[in-house]
Structure 1
Amino acid sequence: MTSPHRTLGRSQVRVSPLGFGAAPLGNLYSPLDEETARAAVDAAWDAGVRYFDTAPHYGLGLSERRLGAALRARPRAEFTVSTKVGRLLEPHPSPTGSDLAAGGFAVPSTLRRRPDYSRDGVLRSLEASLERLGLDRIDLALVHDPDEHMDTALAESLPALTELRAQGVVGAIGIGMNSVEPLRRFVAEGDPDVVMVAGRWTLLDRTAAPLLAECAAREVSVIAAAPFNSGLLSTDHPGAGGRYDYGTVPAAVLDRARSLATRCAEHGVPLPRAALCFPLREPVVACVLAGFRTPAEVSSAATHLTHGVPEHLWHELNATD
Structure 2
Amino acid sequence: MSLAQNRLGHSPVQVTSLAFGAAGIGNLFTPVTDAEAEQAITAAWDRGIRYFDTAPHYGLGLSERRLGTVLRGLPRDEYVLSTKVGRILEPAPTAGGDDLANGFAVPATHRRRWDFNAEGVRRSIEESLNRLGLDRIDIAYLHDPDNHAEQALDQAYPELERLRTEGVLGAIGVGMNQAELPARFVRDTDIDVVLLAGRYSLLDQHGLAELLPLAEQRGVGVVIGGVFNSGLLADPRPGATFDYTAAPAELVSRALDLEGVCEKYDVPLRAAALCFPFGHPAVASVLVGTRSAAQVDDAAAMLRHRIPGALWAELKEHGLLAADVPIPLEAG
TM-score bin (small chain): over 0.9
Cα 1:18–1:221 shift into 2, 3 Å: same
One-letter amino acid of the structure 2 residue matched with residue 135 of structure 1? L
CA distance in 2, matches of 1:317, 1:288: 21
Structure 2 residue 219 is the aligned partner of structure 1 residue 190: no
CA distance in 1, matches of 2:287, 2:72: 21
Structure 2 residue 228 is the aligned partner of structure 1 residue 244: no
- 1:310 maps to 308
Secondary structure class of the residue paired with 2:55? coil
Once the two structures are superposed, residues 190-229 of structure 1 have per-residue CA deviations (whole angstroms, 9 ceiling, x without a partner) of 1100001000011111110021000000000100011110
Query: How do 1:101-180 and structure 2 match up within 5 A?
Result: 101=101, 103-180=102-179
Structure 2: where are the runs of 5+ without partners?
322-332
Among 264, 276, 279, the alignment partner of 2:277 is 279
- 1:14 maps to 14
- 2:324 maps to none
Q: Could you tell me how far 1:95 is from its partner in structure 2?
A: 4.4
* Greater displacement, 309-318 / 285-294: 309-318
- 1:71 maps to 71
- RMSD of aligned alpha carbons: 1.0
Aligned residues: 318
Q: Could you tell me how far 1:119 is from its partner in structure 2?
A: 0.3
Structure 2 residue 220 is the aligned partner of structure 1 residue 214: no
Q: Could you tell me how far 1:162 is from its partner in structure 2?
A: 0.6
Q: Structure 1 stretches (4+) deviating beyond 3 angstroms? A: none
Once the two structures are superposed, residues 16-69 of structure 1 have per-residue CA deviations (whole angstroms, 9 ceiling, x without a partner) of 000000000100000001111100000000000000000000000000000000
CA distance in 2, matches of 1:74, 1:2: 17
- 1:45 maps to 45
Q: Could you tell me how far 1:96 is from its partner in structure 2?
A: 4.8
One-letter amino acid of the structure 1 residue matched with residue 43 of structure 2? A
Structure 1: where are the runs of 5+ without partners?
none
Identity within the alignment, %: 53
Once the two structures are superposed, residues 259-305 of structure 1 have per-residue CA deviations (whole angstroms, 9 ceiling, x without a partner) of 10111011110000001001112121000001001111101111111
Secondary structure class of the residue paired with 1:277? helix
Q: Could you tell me how far 1:314 is from its partner in structure 2?
A: 1.1
- 2:80 maps to 80
Query: How do 1:199-210 and structure 2 match up within 5 A?
Result: 199-209=198-208, 210=210
Q: Could you tell me how far 1:10 is from its partner in structure 2?
A: 0.2
- 1:35 maps to 35
Q: Could you tell me how far 1:3 is from its partner in structure 2?
A: 3.7
Q: Is the 8 A contact 1:88 1:115 kept in 2?
A: yes
Secondary structure class of the residue paired with 2:233? coil
- 1:320 maps to 320
Cα 1:234–1:189 shift into 2, 3 Å: same
Secondary structure class of the residue paired with 1:136? coil
- 1:262 maps to 260
CA distance in 2, matches of 1:134, 1:271: 38
CA distance in 2, matches of 1:2, 1:34: 27
CA distance in 1, matches of 2:273, 2:41: 22
Q: Is the 8 A contact 1:277 1:308 kept in 2?
A: no
Q: TM-score scaled by structure 2?
A: 0.94
Q: TM-score scaled by structure 1?
A: 0.97
Q: Could you tell me how far 1:307 is from its partner in structure 2?
A: 2.1
